[in-house]
Homo-oligomer: A and B are copies of this chain.
Amino acid sequence: MTAGRNEADLNGITQLGNQQTKYPQDYDPKVLETFPNKHPDNDYFVKFNCPEFTSLCPMTGQPDFATIYISYVPGEIMVESKSLKLYLFSFRNHGDFHEDCMNIIMKDLIALMAPKYIEVWGKFTPRGGISIDPYCNYGKPGTKWADVAWQRLAQHDLYPEKVDNR
């Protein structure tokens, strides 16, 4: 195998390929890790599809399930995907409303890597016949991505997907 990233390019990544992975027992944004963006002059999107998210209802303690879609435009650094997995896993025994979870995830990732743009969309399974899908986004203040964030919010989800609870 030849490789496009050398060791220096991969510096600071401790979880990917690590066999002694410790799974956090509660919500913990400190497990998140980053690596340098090698294409910083060229704005581009990265999307994470995360269909294996689960948290707890803060009032009843019953488990909730969601697919989360995270899209961002990287700045100088990027979030490493295995550490993102561990971070999302840290919600497993944590109780919060759906709307709060999505805002918290977005804010933690903003704090971690200062992206130019980011959006987080959760699609939960129904409770009592109704399912809830929160969506939040952010563009770096003082850049044209702040305008993009507003435009994308204003245009959000004109075509809700079909949901029939089966």
Contacts and interface: CB of A to CB of B under 8 A. Distances in A.
A83 to B, nearest CB: 10
Contact of A102 (B44, B59, B62): B44
A3 B103 contact: no
Contacts of A137: 44
Contacts of A81: 127-128, 130, 132
Interface residues of A, number: 97
A119 B129 CA distance: 19
B45 A134 contact: yes
A44 B134 contact: yes
Interface of A: 1-5, 10, 13, 16-21, 23, 26-27, 37-39, 42-52, 54, 56-63, 65, 67, 69, 71, 73-74, 78, 81-82, 84-85, 88-89, 92-97, 99-104, 121, 123, 125-138, 148, 151-166
